[in-house]
Copies of this chain bind each other. A is one copy, B any other.
């Protein structure tokens, strides 16, 4: 990337991670070390030469390191997590328009779920599993906060949510009530699920009550 040549921390950060695709590459590596082919699969739409370019650039920037045939984040790369989280959070309202014909990978759900439930605290713990075609997320909400992981680990969940990605996300993010989405199937304790949902913030979450153009935020 061409440097902005501005003595500003934001501009210098963007000199490193501001290129097209770059933060999405970091998103993929934030899950864990990945091989080139796995990255390609997790980044539908990227050209193979661009992925190679971005990986080299991130290596130069000290964000990514290569061990054999695996790429992984450095400490400096892991320090980008708060950035990803805030961008993710800001992007959640943009999911209300549904999936359309966008690509989808089950592991992308982890971040969305973590973000949506970020401030949840529950005195009486709840474990909920979210299942979508191709994978899912296990959510453990306690008094200390929410931890996410892969489904199937540990004891059986109190409740299970199953459906297409935009449907389960609509319910989790509060775009729609449970009974408004007939394409979401609930198994186990409905009461436990309701407790989790009641503990989260309101719809758009961050003050999107606007005098401006009202309605869901625009895309592109």
Interface window among A13-21, A146-154, A180-188, A189-197? A13-21
Q: Give the number of times this chain occurs in the complex, counting copies.
A: 2
- Sorting the interface of chain A by its residue count into under 10, 10 to 19, 20 to 34 or 35 or more gives 35 or more
Chain B residues with CB under 8 A of A104 = 6-8
- Residues of A bordering B, CB below 8 Å: 1, 3-16, 18, 20, 23-24, 27, 44-45, 60-62, 65, 74-76, 79-80, 82-95, 99-105, 108, 111-112, 115, 165-166, 206-210, 212-213, 217-220
Q: Do residues B75 and A83 form an inter-chain contact, with CB atoms below 8 A?
A: no
Known: A16-B219, A24-B11, A217-B61. A6 touches B79 (CB 8 A): no
Residues from chain B with a CB closer than 8 A to the CB of A85 are 86
Question: Are B44 and A6 in touch, CB under 8 angstroms?
Answer: yes
User: When the two chains form their complex, are residues B86 and A83 in contact, meaning their CB atoms are under 8 A apart?
Assistant: yes
Residues on the B chain within 8 Å of A103, using CB? 5-7
Minimum C-beta distance from A65 to chain B (A): 6
